[in-house]
Structure 1
Amino acid sequence: MRELEEASNEGHRSSDGEVTEPTEDAIPEAEPTSMHNNPNQDANSQAKLGATSGRKQTEREDNLAGAEKKSDNKITYEIRKKPTNSIVLENFNSHEAVNGNKDDKAPFDMVKSEATYLEWLELESRLFPVRYYREQHTKAQQKYNIVRVLGQGGFGLVLLVNVEKGGPLYAMKVMSKEKIKEKKMIKYIIGERRALSAVHHPLIMSLIDKLKDNSNVYIIMPFIECGDLFRLMLSTRLKRFSYEEAKFYVAQVLLAFEYLHKMRVVYRDLKPENLMLDRSGYVQLADLGFAKLLDANRERTYSTLGTPDYMAPEIFSAKNCGYSFSVDWWTTGCLLYDVHGWISPFHTPDGNTMNVIKKIMTSEFSFQTSLSPTPKIL
């Protein structure tokens, strides 16, 4: 069992995370003023009548402005009342993004240089909370056909599906509601679905569609043809990864983490099995089940979870002081060691989890004798 998950002190995220469209209060119409046919009506009475009409028009404009202000306050409150309690979208019209009047993703094509890349990251960080908390309650129009079984997961099957024969292939993750409830993983499944819906990065897997019925929850993702990095490591065990190959894969992980951390998301479960390889050989960071959107003010979490061989020491004392993005950099170092030596730095021959934790807490590890000085310095 590579997974370790304990009950956490985090508050449960509500499944009702919809950012709703505010409804404007009804604005009473001004009562019409009739003109009596009085031939003796003088200019003073007409001026008085005009002034009254002008005041009523001003009151209507004030009421309209007040309604709009109330509407704006409501949409801000709807976003702030989520579990993070501090998400504020500054200088961004969330009405347009929620209603689809404005594209809620910054186009990656705009990245032409380091300056435009940083600008793209900044735009994404503003748009990410809108995508994360938006919940679209629409029934899927597609009917997926099962091609074959890809594998067995912790909560169910992973299927290869398509919409029509000869069409694009997708990976469908089938998760049993009963098993999710039994293992108390509801908030993690909801978090994974929200994270997959919100991420927009070429090196991170995203969501295609989501479905559910009385028994299961279904998440449809792109199908990555070449399997995961762990399988590639097994197939090349005799020659191992070179220094340049290791840098190639780890550099992509660094870019993916740079994006997630800018979005205030900590990943927490990096390992070779969660790095999928596309047909061009590039990485797709998968399995966002343990990803966590941190509070902008506190930016700490207190869950004890992950894969033991790759968990950072602060995770094991999380209930006392918590941890933040640093745990992802620890797992990146473990991955870099892993792709060089084919074994995690804190692995124990007996496979005893408690012995692994003890080695991690005391930072007891030694480099492989086959490693050259350059990888050791890295």
Structure 2
Amino acid sequence: MPFCAPRRKRTAESGCLSEIYKPPDGRLTKEKLLGEGGTAAVFMGHHHRRGKVAVKMANITWDEESVCREVNFLLKFSRHRNIASYYGAYHHPAPNEESSEYLELVLEYCSGGSLYDLIKSTEGQSLKETWIGFVCREVLKALNHVHHHRAVHRDIKSPNVMLTKKGNIKLIDFGHCWDLDPQTGKCNEGDGTAHWMAPETFRRRDRKPEYDTKCDIWSLGITAIEMAEGKTPYADQKLVSDLIINNDSPRLKSRTWSQHFVSFLKSCLEKDPSQRWSAKELLQHPFIAELPPAKTIRAEIEEHLRAVQNRPAEQGEGIRYMYRIGVCSCSVLGFSLL
């Protein structure tokens, strides 16, 4: 159970976050900055009961509504084994009128870094196909849970997939998560990180987008290509919406990959969402269902992570443990230490 911070008693006049959550008062200390962006920063921290944690400083002066929404989704989903645990939150008041007030979200610290880090740590080499399948399977488990509750994550990408030191996979960052409309089963909010976004999620002239949970499946397919090739399709392009909307679905460049992997990607990257497989269906795909034992793959990843951490750091660099949080619709902006 999340500790949900010491909560103030909600008053009849106010339901704002500053009235719900108390200041940390020594219960939480922030240490190393892990990353920052337009509306949030993430620190390594120490909680008096939880020990080492990640602390997301969410700016509620700028956008309290979206922070409330993220907290609600974290409370709903974070008990799943493939979603980083949410432990609670504290209110950080503005020290003066010119400063912002924040909600300090206390989250599970994933010391293995992000999937983005893992991809970069191979120094231009592909991840092993079994590793790709393992990551996809664990993310699909998380997505199946989210989609079962009629919600969409809307920002599946390598920086939002974290690893523990034991090689377990955890999905993070529910800042873009949204409930599907109960009548239509659709979402009409255009948001995400452009290179990973599905064709149907982009705004087109005067028409709002209309999409469902299949948008997350497309994003997972793009992430799988990223694991295989070291970068997303159109990675060198800044304005990619027209390319994603008008071009054929991306495919793997090399022909050395298994037919199961090729088939899996085709099932993820159908341009027509109605033809795209669901998370539940993809968990039964041979590429996923016929993987070696998870224990074996986790051990390989754990050994690789240890080797990366033991590499001599170049001057001015250290281990790139990274949180990225989307701060802009349809952009590649995030925050990280690169």
Question: Does structure 2 conserve the Cα–Cα contact (< 8 Å) formed by 1:172 and 1:218?
Answer: yes
Give the unaligned 5+ runs of structure 1: 1-19, 21-134
2:53 is equivalent to residue 170 of structure 1: yes
Relative to structure 1, the CA distance from residue 168 to residue 312 in structure 2 (aligned partners, 3 Å threshold; closer, same or farther) is same
TM-score normalized by the length of structure 2 = 0.64
C-alpha distance in 2, partners of 1:193/1:154? 18
Structure-2 residue corresponding to 1:287: 173
Instruction: Write the mapping of 1:1-378 to structure 2, written as runs, cut at 5 A.
Output: 137=20, 139=22, 143-164=27-48, 168-178=51-61, 181=62, 185-199=63-77, 200-212=79-91, 213-214=93-94, 215-317=101-203, 319-320=207-208, 322-345=210-233, 347-349=234-236, 351-353=237-239, 356-364=240-248, 365-369=250-254, 371-374=256-259, 375-378=261-264
Relative to structure 1, the CA distance from residue 173 to residue 320 in structure 2 (aligned partners, 3 Å threshold; closer, same or farther) is closer
Identity %: 22
Structure-2 residue corresponding to 1:128: none
C-alpha distance in 1, partners of 2:209/2:21? 41
SS at match of 2:226: helix
Higher relative contact order (CA 8 A, sep 6+): 2
Instruction: Write out per-residue CA displacement over residues 120-140 of structure 1, whole angstroms, 9 at most, x where no aligned residue.
Output: xxxxxxxxxxxxxxx993536
Q: Which amino acid aligns with 1:139?
A: K
C-alpha distance in 1, partners of 2:44/2:216? 30
Question: Does structure 1 conserve the Cα–Cα contact (< 8 Å) formed by 2:116 and 2:158?
Answer: yes
Shift of 1:324: 0.9
SS at match of 2:20: coil
SS at match of 2:86: coil
Could you say what the CA RMSD is over the residues aligned between the two structures, in angstroms? Answer: 2.5
Number of residue-to-residue matches in the alignment: 235
Q: Which amino acid aligns with 1:219?
A: L
Question: Does structure 2 conserve the Cα–Cα contact (< 8 Å) formed by 1:230 and 1:272?
Answer: yes
Relative to structure 1, the CA distance from residue 246 to residue 167 in structure 2 (aligned partners, 3 Å threshold; closer, same or farther) is closer
TM-score normalized by the length of structure 1 = 0.57
C-alpha distance in 2, partners of 1:359/1:321? 17
C-alpha distance in 1, partners of 2:88/2:208? 38
C-alpha distance in 2, partners of 1:248/1:196? 24
Structure-2 residue corresponding to 1:58: none
- More divergent stretch after superposition (358-367 vs 288-297): 358-367
Question: Does structure 2 conserve the Cα–Cα contact (< 8 Å) formed by 1:197 and 1:206?
Answer: no
Give the unaligned 5+ runs of structure 2: 1-9, 11-17, 95-100, 265-338
Structure-2 residue corresponding to 1:97: none
C-alpha distance in 2, partners of 1:237/1:320? 40
Question: Does structure 2 conserve the Cα–Cα contact (< 8 Å) formed by 1:140 and 1:210?
Answer: no
SS at match of 1:284: strand
Shift of 1:177: 3.5
SS at match of 1:149: strand
Structure-1 residue corresponding to 2:326: none
SS at match of 1:173: strand
C-alpha distance in 2, partners of 1:267/1:233? 22
Question: Does structure 2 conserve the Cα–Cα contact (< 8 Å) formed by 1:314 and 1:327?
Answer: yes
Higher helix share: 1
User: Which one has a bigger Cα radius of gyration?
Assistant: 1
Relative to structure 1, the CA distance from residue 330 to residue 173 in structure 2 (aligned partners, 3 Å threshold; closer, same or farther) is same
